[in-house]
Structure 1
Amino acid sequence: MVVERNILHLDLDTFFVSVERLRQPELVGKPIMVGGSGDRGVVSACSYETRKFGVRSGMPMRLARRLCPDALVLKGDYEAYGKYSRSVTEIITERAPVVEKASIDEFYVDMTGMEKFVGCLKWSKELKSKIVRETGLSVSWGLSNTKTVSKIAANENKPDGALYIPSTDVQPFLWKLDVSKLPGVGEKMAHTLRCMGVTKLGTLAQIPRKLMERTFGKTGLFLWDRANGIDPSPVLPHDKQKSMSKELTFQTDTTDVQMLQATLSRMVEGLAYDLRKDRWCAGKVTVKIRYSDFQTYTRQITIPATSSDHQLTLAAIKIFNALYNRRLLVRLVGVSVSKLVRGTEQLALFDASGEVVKTRLPNLYQKTDLIKLKHGENRIGHANSYHLGI
């Protein structure tokens, strides 16, 4: 007997903008863009007042300001966004059986089996009311039998919306939508499909599955399945997070090796703090470099699981030195940690270079973490990179 799933998708509407408006009520109703204000900046988030002018997240800020010159541009307080996100996470996890935090402002809840004890629709409404009441944030949700359909349902009723799609209505709901509404279909793929005469998901769903595979490979199979409402992917519990990452695009392309290494060091310090705060250790470090010609390269190494700044920084700098082409200008650097495991490490007496690890190091981490938790992450940091303020 196949058990029908009930998957809820929760999406915090224009999350960064909503947080800014909670902190500054005078911003309500005004066109807002959050992101870098320089020529190289990108729109991280934008209010609905700007979207009618064509502004979208991920758009270069220079273009966005031309489209909506009256918009207020805010640098953004990512520490505050993290606090609000954690508040919502706590509200959801204390009530829900299985929760996946897909991003800072998106969540999936697997409510399969709950319908025997409480109506899933009623429970979803009550959860949304609790989030709004306790945080002041606007939430949209979708409820259906798969992650894909619940996400699309939430997106179709933003902002402050709710939509339930029973399993019997999944295909009629999907097939009337434009192909661009399917998660995973970007502008390039949407253009390709339209050139083939495929504008609706219903048309895509009727193409023979083998033809989609011959044309697009595994991607074609993925698209065909999703267009037909097939999505067996599970809701992964919050404690099975796969990776953490940070990256920075420079205002001016650079070959300043000292500055590049200091930037990486500062990002690693932030990631290590996040690891310790959430009781993770990381066993893999990956560094990304994007050059001025937009060519992007990554390299990774596996290390003993750790949450220590010095061990992770040693790994990141080692990768950078092996990866960096000193003849080219660098546009972006990034670092991520993965192979996450729960727990706190037992610090070794000797580090990777054979030098004695100071016995005061664990105590130092504990004290600096307390300062960051109380006063903000940027209040204290390593001297060689603290001035960067990443």
Structure 2
Amino acid sequence: MKSMYPRNGRVILHVDCNAFYASVETAYDPSLKDKPLVIAGNPNERRGIIITCNYVARALGIYTTMPLWEAKKKCPDLVIKPPNFELYRDASAKVFEFLSTYTNKIEPSSIDESYLDITDLYELGSPLEIAGQIQKGLLETLNIPVSIGIAPNKFLAKTASDMKKPMGITVLRKRDVAHILWDRQVKEMHGIGEKTAQKLNGMGIRTIGELAQADSTVLQNLIGITGVHLKERANGIDHRPVDPDSVYEIKTVGNSTTLPKNVTEQRALLDMLAKLSQSVSQRMKKKHVITQNVQITIKYSDFKSITRSRKLLNPVLEASEIYEAASQLFKKHWNGNPVRLLGVTALDVMEKNDAVKQLDLFSFEEEAKQEPLLEAVDKLKQKFGDFIIQKGSDLISKGHQNHNKRI
């Protein structure tokens, strides 16, 4: 059996739960098994967007992000369930617990996906046999269907698991990359989003094969070191290990400043909190993390310090959201004494792609619409400063203050 494993390479599995939320709902209520099912918030909400749907619904032309009214028009018998995030988290924990019976080399990449390094598990059978055992075991014990990719690295394993859904097992070797992947559009490649695809298209790179053969220096000049890594992936190269501790690497993102003098004016202190919140938000975006726990630090002129934190209902990332929590904490806990130092910290940060936001679907729509605007505002602030764009009420307030000073 050991001969079926590489001498010097690795064997990586990517385990991807199929239509996870819908599968969990079906596992909890087996009567839903053969019915078209969507997870889409309040069943009476016309303006909602579908978060996910089972494969029965997909066969009818229903897909994720489709407006709920359109899905109901396609399928009047559609079963609509509101999201139950507590149930999904519990099911996710059970899936990872099951996988841990095979190896402790597990790296969760989201609530319903994980990488396993099975290089040393040859005593349990061939890679295909182990994948089959995992797939069968999860279906029998938790009623969760999964697709599994088998490959020598994480990128190829993830790519392979996407090739056959639901309940697929796919092997993708490095030598297969050229004839399986190179004809595909770059936008189909794992790790390339719409904006990156547009940049690559703009320089004449439209297929994964063209990316694999592109000039590394040109790619780095265009999109940074990420471009070099993407070229490596396009050639089937990925040196990243399966790291069980990777989810714990970044726990906090914070920023603090010592004020040039002791400050007692609340407006000035709140303005500083806004600047700190902006800085924390920008750093979080670079790290692709979000938080559900905001903390402030106040150091007084007598050098006594306090820290206070607040758990939030939903994960946040934008500066305005962080500032809202920080300013509320400050107003509640500042004792009025002169302040020497202020700090804002995002605690217990998590990967943005792994977080599940507890939104109703109308809010989901509204936030989705705001994203391009928020990105544009961020770029302006990075180029021209934090206060290039301000609320009208803030400008009016400052105008009154300046007017009063002149009087």
Q: Same fold (TM over 0.5)?
A: yes
Q: Confirm or deny that 1:19 pairs with 2:24.
A: yes
Shift of the 298–72 alpha-carbon distance from structure 1 to 2, 3 Å rule, reads closer
What CA distance in whole angstroms lies between the structure 2 residues aligned with 1:122 and 1:29? 29
CA deviations over 1:81-129 (Å, ceiling 9, x no partner):
2222122111111221301111111111012233477422222221222
Shift of the 215–143 alpha-carbon distance from structure 1 to 2, 3 Å rule, reads same
Q: In the alignment, what sits opposite 2:100?
A: 93
What CA distance in whole angstroms lies between the structure 1 residues aligned with 2:245 and 2:291? 30
Q: Confirm or deny that 1:76 pairs with 2:75.
A: no
SS at match of 1:97: coil
Q: In the alignment, what sits opposite 1:366?
A: none
Shift of the 118–2 alpha-carbon distance from structure 1 to 2, 3 Å rule, reads closer
What CA distance in whole angstroms lies between the structure 1 residues aligned with 2:74 and 2:177? 37
Match runs of 1:312-331 below 5 Å = 312-313=309-310, 319-322=323-326
The Cα shift of 1:152 comes to: 0.9
The Cα shift of 1:229 comes to: 1.3
Gapped runs of 5+ residues in structure 1?
246-285, 289-295, 304-309, 325-334, 341-390
The Cα shift of 1:151 comes to: 0.8
Counterpart pick for 1:228 among 226, 232, 235: 235
SS at match of 1:43: coil
Counterpart pick for 2:149 among 142, 146, 163: 142
Q: In the alignment, what sits opposite 2:226?
A: 219
Q: In the alignment, what sits opposite 1:155?
A: 162
Asked whether the equivalents of residues 148 and 161 of structure 2 are also in contact (C-alpha less than 8 Å), the reply is yes
What CA distance in whole angstroms lies between the structure 2 residues aligned with 1:4 and 1:89? 25
Q: Confirm or deny that 1:5 pairs with 2:4.
A: no
The Cα shift of 1:167 comes to: 3.4
Match runs of 1:247-286 below 5 Å = none
SS at match of 2:190: coil
What CA distance in whole angstroms lies between the structure 1 residues aligned with 2:27 and 2:195? 37
CA deviations over 1:227-273 (Å, ceiling 9, x no partner):
1112222212168535799xxxxxxxxxxxxxxxxxxxxxxxxxxxx
What CA distance in whole angstroms lies between the structure 1 residues aligned with 2:90 and 2:18? 16
Match runs of 1:343-358 below 5 Å = none
What CA distance in whole angstroms lies between the structure 1 residues aligned with 2:291 and 2:151? 39
After TM superposition, the structure 1 stretch with the greater mean CA deviation from structure 2, 130-139 or 150-159, is 130-139
Shift of the 39–136 alpha-carbon distance from structure 1 to 2, 3 Å rule, reads same
Q: In the alignment, what sits opposite 2:55?
A: 48
The amino acid across from 2:130 in the alignment is W
SS at match of 1:212: helix
Q: In the alignment, what sits opposite 2:38?
A: 33
Q: In the alignment, what sits opposite 1:166?
A: 173
Gapped runs of 5+ residues in structure 2?
1-5, 253-279, 283-289, 298-306, 329-344, 351-407
Structure number with larger C-alpha Rg: 2
The amino acid across from 1:12 in the alignment is C
- CA RMSD across the alignment: 3.9
SS at match of 1:143: strand
Shift of the 144–300 alpha-carbon distance from structure 1 to 2, 3 Å rule, reads same
Asked whether the equivalents of residues 147 and 161 of structure 2 are also in contact (C-alpha less than 8 Å), the reply is yes
What CA distance in whole angstroms lies between the structure 2 residues aligned with 1:25 and 1:312? 42
Tell me the matched-pair count: 277
Counterpart pick for 1:338 among 341, 345, 348: 348
Q: TM-score, normalised by structure 2?
A: 0.57
Asked whether the equivalents of residues 24 and 144 of structure 2 are also in contact (C-alpha less than 8 Å), the reply is yes
Asked whether the equivalents of residues 295 and 309 of structure 2 are also in contact (C-alpha less than 8 Å), the reply is no
Q: TM-score, normalised by structure 1?
A: 0.60
What CA distance in whole angstroms lies between the structure 1 residues aligned with 2:39 and 2:173? 36
What CA distance in whole angstroms lies between the structure 2 residues aligned with 1:22 and 1:215? 46
